[in-house]
Amino acid sequence: MKAISIINPKGGSGKSTLATNLAGYFAQRSPAVLLGDVDTQQSSRRWLQSRHRGMASIETWQIGADDVARPPKGVTHAILDTPAGLSGKSLAQIVKVSARIIVPVQASPFDLWATKLFLDQLEAIKAVSRGKAEVALVGVRVDPRTLAATQLREFLAAQGFETLTMIRPTQLYGRVAEAGASIFDVSPSLAAREREDWQPLLQWVDIL
């Protein structure tokens, strides 16, 4: 089992939101899910510590940016939240243990510029260029009906990687995060719109 890593060196790009909700999704289906956090802010780990014992179990993946190993045997899914500024050897090590890499992208010019530079760096890593680690892009905190979403789609289409979906900004993400929960831990009727946004992403990672 290799990891699903959420990577974008731009801070505040939505990595922890993707990582925690993806872990929450897999936890509904398997008792052997790990969530690792090599970000100095430790947002995902704090989320995990806030998780109620009655929720589907997610274990901590003890891992460091300079000490990256494959997930232990018996684990069905391992999600890795990564830090801002990730590059060089640390980036290559994380890519090496990843079967899937999800790059969250927001619609601001600053995010687009930073992401373009990062994707060029990512594509130069052998595991990506040879197809051993697959990469896909996800628009985050953007309403798909807006001009910003159209501009983001045009940017993503030009990058040479698959674009999976646009995840709209809703207050539910913040509310569930406070309780160490994900949109997959609450009633489907309460998170119907959010779950709809996630479907293309879930289909892409479900083939592992």
Tell me the pLDDT tens digit for each residue of 93-141.
Answer: 899 889 999 999 998 888 898 999 999 999 999 999 998 999 999 999 9
Superfamily covering domain 3-205? P-loop containing nucleotide triphosphate hydrolases (3.40.50.300)
Structure confidence by residue, pLDDT tens digits, 44-73: 889 998 998 889 999 887 766 556 666 777
Residue 32's closest CA among 42, 23, 20?
23
Residue 199's closest CA among 162, 174, 164?
164
Pairing of β 98-105 and β 77-81: unpaired
Residue 39's closest CA among 93, 72, 85?
85
- For residue 180, give the amino acid letter: G
pLDDT given for residue 25 in this prediction: 96
Give residues with Cβ within 8 angstroms of 96, minimum separation 6: 68, 127, 133
Kind plus residue range of the DSSP H or E element containing 164:
strand 162-167
Examine the pLDDT at 194 and tell me if it is beyond 60.
yes
- For residue 160, give the amino acid letter: G
Please give the mean pLDDT across all residues of the chain. Answer: 89
| C-beta of residue 94 within 8 angstroms of C-beta of residue 68 | yes
What's the whole-number mean pLDDT along residues 10-30? 92
